[in-house]
Structure 1
């Protein structure tokens, strides 16, 4: 077995920079600077590792790569050596905000945060979305899909390059600028980090990195998650621990994230991954043969590292099992999270929305909202990104269904279904925020009852069993957030009179503001108003 570093810098010559294997089994190579002092690998160079494995020759992206890109027309990603000159590196201007006593989290996905059918950028999110989040009264933003993932429709959960921010939305410096701006606004920035599993992609991920299935993962069936179609880490390997612990510190140190929401913690802690298992509270369910002790130890280690280096950092765990000691500090024998994500609440609301109003039991609702361990802090939510995906329904859709399309405008009569839906939509969020825990989370757009579901662009495909799964023509139409629905301008012209209807977004309570009407006489060029160009205004008679 052999390995070599290849790339633009050595014309992809596998004999130029051959690697050696040290006493710990790690392949390494040292490249001194050039004679003129310039780095041996220029900034922006594409790099890969060529490995001669028992199963054949394989080119892989370095596991610790800081940035990876996909060239137009190419399927696999290429690792990119990202090390700009000192004078070009981003310098943070603003200190981290203090940890809020009560978290109010806005869950966001940068790529789908545009009103247009496109992949949005870190820069646009910084300029357009962050001010909206601040104005709505949130004190934290939780950003999804940061770690590079070759499959966009995975929502960022099938990670291929753990140390690299997604290049779809911009450069590492663009992401740093976004976080710096959030700190300027007083917003805590949490990262939705994925350490529970990895993409099974062999072209540009960790899977079969050295030609075997066990370098980072369990071998055989234990290393494969059948529901997620992904690989499962072996937390008993020292190099896996080193890799993941370093990864957590990297995002806190380099990008100034203020904490994490750990995805899929239940899957980590049990060998059955919480699938087809009903947790009743019996302690044998938590501390038995199904417990992955190595994974629990890793969670204790990473939480100890996070809070040891950054005492103000926040760690939220996504756990549905109710693991005891989950939010007890590591020094006291606990797993060490600050908050548990209260996942049962969203399921309860969906269950109730399928019933008649008169069948709702307030005692049942209050029990679900307050059912948590003594002194355990929880982040509650009525709905998150999970409920917004295609095939599911948001609360607004459950309440108002297709009436949302025809009877939500302010210039036409409402219906009893809409009136009831809006009232319950606000009440459900209010009671969840009030009783559900010490923190509250909302997925972007759901604060105003965003219509439609999320459907990532996808092509037609045939499954291994021959079943045909239709795509959506790779459309981005349902993979965006229609903020323009609560903040837009329209005009109606009759003869020489122009009526301009200004829908000016939402109040601080998340409700649509009253309609503002501008009547213009003598306009000879009907263009736009309030941010849209082209008006030759006549006389403004009335503003309501």
Structure 2
């Protein structure tokens, strides 16, 4: 019996489905590796074969296009004309090839394919293009030859991510600048990486790397899967960014999109050879993602597996990414894409609505990634709660290292929107921040980019709203709303970050309460970049209150990092009382105490803890974090003897707990 079933007896009724899924993966793995004669990594090397490659005597280009009747390579090197010397020849298995002598193609030349098929023809950007650029006048996209004489060479090899715990700073290169423009890889490397290092995060998760025709898609409507977005600079500048991050001890995780593809035919792979089902299902009901207006992959095809698995290996090998956050996993797992499904019982995960080919692909992808780099990190963005997602493959899982704890940001938003302050019950907070499968690691977070997009609000904007425009200056009088918002912002983050069992994530700028929303340039906002940037000056200006939040975040991260394997420490609830709005829990020698009550401060509040001496090591109410400084953090606290609990070596701490504050204490003896 697989461990996933042994670990969870409630899965016993579905043992046949789980074991069938696992056996299907084993069969497909055997098929792709020729019963073990080659490795999965050998299979996933398509990027070394397809596309444009420089050879000793010229160039060679290959494309998979079985429905095509004629293909020409056209570009600036032949005035975009169909010339016989650039005609591709069909070789086998629907593959086309052309060899071009030296001197005909040069670095930075633009090119496309002119593809003909029965009943039509058109220009296409090759599916395996490694660089795609957009003409700023015509707005037309073309592939570009990228073979510089001095390609960037990595200096820091053998990097291993620090996962104890994993502290992720989610980023978007384009919107990382304070200027109203698209930021570059170089600007991010020079200006933002040092901030992240100083703030204590040990990983970045970069969005929108794969080329996408519409900037406002946030990078989720991918057109060219092997091309790093040229909006931000060159492939070598991206390599240098990753290399510099490694020098700083920062892992670089790529937000990879294999759940769907953009529908565009000229820029994307929608109809590379005129057919609708080259990479996608023949049935339009399966092919088109109605909610996202995009195309869904046919994961049952060997060629699609070859394309996507090669894509994973490409980013690991060619750019030294340290792993991937897989976007839209729920959409992949279910034929319904998870839309309008309740997922209220285990039966909902094994009712035949699941896509076995997509599930197999995800398992194969995790197998491959960890085969290529045993230290790689994989994270699943998945909302349904599918069991086994972040469990190792041998135990019957899907092989992800982590899954996103997507329930937590939903809980905080719902709480802020719908609950009165006195209804912020510690029992609910504890449940949501710790409710996870015991055998799977999660990435906890208060908010990611999702919560900041236009039409939604960041946590700080929900808490403070319009008062942010008037009362965030330290030179002016404050407001109750701002004081409340600053206090709760710190408490929400502290309880989320310190109850982790795997890692913690923050979207850039949210740590200091970046105001307003994210809105990319589009017709509806007159193509403005005003809200597609980060105003770092707000955090740097000590006349404003934003720095309080940033300073607290830095100290919170420092505290977590100061404890080896913090995420693995036993998490023990000490006390929760909804009537008082008090929550307390311990991790080894650290004691965390929260008073979520909006009005009541408690004197001599008794909490039963291991006997000894305690000191305050972090206080949300400290004046350096924008608090009122109502506690004297220099005072040490000693437990009071109680004969009822003496045999357990426990005693009572009597604490002063001001309203809307939290303290972290360390037992020192």
With the length of structure 2 as denominator, give the TM-score of the two structures. 0.70
Q: Is 1:302 aligned to 2:370, yes or no?
A: no
Retained in 2: the 8 A contact 1:97–1:187? no
Tell me the secondary structure at the aligned position of residue 123 of structure 2: strand
What residue number does 1:466 align with?
none
User: Rg larger in 1 or in 2?
Assistant: 2
* 1:80, distance to aligned residue in structure 2 (A): 0.5
Correspondences of 1:78-93 after superposition (within 5 Å): 78-85=142-149, 88-93=150-155
User: 530, 533, 543: which one pairs with 1:480?
Assistant: 533
User: 402, 405, 409: which one pairs with 2:473?
Assistant: 409
Q: Which moved more, 1:219-228 or 1:261-270?
A: 219-228
Q: 1:478 to 1:502 in 2, by over 3 A?
A: closer
- Work out the CA distance in 2 between the residues paired with 1:509 and 1:216: 44
Tell me the secondary structure at the aligned position of residue 29 of structure 1: strand
- Work out the CA distance in 2 between the residues paired with 1:422 and 1:356: 17
Correspondences of 1:364-379 after superposition (within 5 Å): 364-379=428-443
* 1:55, distance to aligned residue in structure 2 (A): 4.0
Q: Which whole-Å deviations, capped at 9, do the CAs of 1:363-385 have from their partners, x for residues lacking one?
A: 12211111111220000110010
Retained in 1: the 8 A contact 2:538–2:546? no
- Work out the CA distance in 1 between the residues paired with 2:167 and 2:186: 23
Retained in 2: the 8 A contact 1:487–1:505? no
Retained in 1: the 8 A contact 2:280–2:297? yes
- Work out the CA distance in 2 between the residues paired with 1:278 and 1:29: 52
Q: Is 1:68 aligned to 2:136, yes or no?
A: no
Q: Which moved more, 1:412-421 or 1:105-114?
A: 412-421
Gaps of 5+ in 1: 460-470, 491-500, 516-544
- Work out the CA distance in 2 between the residues paired with 1:423 and 1:489: 18
Tell me the secondary structure at the aligned position of residue 131 of structure 1: helix
Q: Is 1:430 aligned to 2:494, yes or no?
A: yes
Retained in 1: the 8 A contact 2:512–2:547? no
- Work out the CA distance in 2 between the residues paired with 1:127 and 1:322: 39
Q: Is 1:235 aligned to 2:299, yes or no?
A: yes
Q: Is 1:45 aligned to 2:109, yes or no?
A: yes
**Higher helix fraction (1 or 2):** 2
* 1:513, distance to aligned residue in structure 2 (A): 6.2
What residue number does 2:349 align with?
286
User: 44, 55, 73: which one pairs with 1:5?
Assistant: 73
Correspondences of 1:185-224 after superposition (within 5 Å): 185-219=248-282, 220-224=284-288
Tell me the secondary structure at the aligned position of residue 506 of structure 2: strand
- Work out the CA distance in 1 between the residues paired with 2:548 and 2:135: 41
Q: 1:379 to 1:25 in 2, by over 3 A?
A: same
Retained in 2: the 8 A contact 1:503–1:513? no
Q: Which moved more, 1:12-21 or 1:103-112?
A: 12-21
What residue number does 1:265 align with?
329
RMSD between aligned residues? 2.0
- Work out the CA distance in 2 between the residues paired with 1:418 and 1:505: 12
What residue number does 1:24 align with?
93
Q: Which whole-Å deviations, capped at 9, do the CAs of 1:508-530 have from their partners, x for residues lacking one?
A: 64489699xxxxxxxxxxxxxxx
User: 150, 175, 191: which one pairs with 1:112?
Assistant: 175
Correspondences of 1:87-102 after superposition (within 5 Å): 88-95=150-157, 96-102=159-165
- Work out the CA distance in 1 between the residues paired with 2:366 and 2:305: 13
What residue number does 1:134 align with?
197
* 1:329, distance to aligned residue in structure 2 (A): 1.6
Q: Is 1:507 aligned to 2:551, yes or no?
A: yes
* 1:9, distance to aligned residue in structure 2 (A): 2.2
* 1:436, distance to aligned residue in structure 2 (A): 4.0
Gaps of 5+ in 2: 1-68, 556-622, 627-669
* 1:489, distance to aligned residue in structure 2 (A): 8.1
- Work out the CA distance in 2 between the residues paired with 1:205 and 1:378: 33
Q: Which whole-Å deviations, capped at 9, do the CAs of 1:478-513 have from their partners, x for residues lacking one?
A: 1101111111488xxxxxxxxxx9989943644896
- Work out the CA distance in 1 between the residues paired with 2:549 and 2:541: 8
Tell me the secondary structure at the aligned position of residue 195 of structure 1: coil
* 1:17, distance to aligned residue in structure 2 (A): 1.6
Q: Which whole-Å deviations, capped at 9, do the CAs of 1:136-191 have from their partners, x for residues lacking one?
A: 11000000000000100000000010000000010001101111110111000000
Tell me the secondary structure at the aligned position of residue 507 of structure 1: helix
- Work out the CA distance in 1 between the residues paired with 2:99 and 2:426: 66
Tell me the secondary structure at the aligned position of residue 302 of structure 1: helix
- Work out the CA distance in 2 between the residues paired with 1:504 and 1:414: 14
- Work out the CA distance in 2 between the residues paired with 1:42 and 1:273: 44
Tell me the secondary structure at the aligned position of residue 153 of structure 1: helix
Correspondences of 1:147-158 after superposition (within 5 Å): 147-158=210-221
* 1:101, distance to aligned residue in structure 2 (A): 2.0
Correspondences of 1:525-544 after superposition (within 5 Å): none
User: 334, 349, 365: which one pairs with 2:397?
Assistant: 334
Tell me the secondary structure at the aligned position of residue 72 of structure 2: strand
- Work out the CA distance in 2 between the residues paired with 1:279 and 1:422: 35
Tell me the secondary structure at the aligned position of residue 30 of structure 1: strand
What residue number does 1:174 align with?
237
Retained in 2: the 8 A contact 1:113–1:125? yes
Retained in 1: the 8 A contact 2:513–2:546? no
Retained in 1: the 8 A contact 2:161–2:250? no
- Work out the CA distance in 2 between the residues paired with 1:506 and 1:391: 25
Q: Is 1:363 aligned to 2:427, yes or no?
A: yes
Q: Which moved more, 1:88-97 or 1:444-453?
A: 88-97
Q: 1:410 to 1:373 in 2, by over 3 A?
A: same
What residue number does 2:18 align with?
none
Tell me the secondary structure at the aligned position of residue 279 of structure 1: coil
- Work out the CA distance in 1 between the residues paired with 2:168 and 2:547: 26
- Work out the CA distance in 2 between the residues paired with 1:122 and 1:389: 22
Q: 1:366 to 1:504 in 2, by over 3 A?
A: closer
- Work out the CA distance in 2 between the residues paired with 1:144 and 1:98: 19
* 1:412, distance to aligned residue in structure 2 (A): 1.1
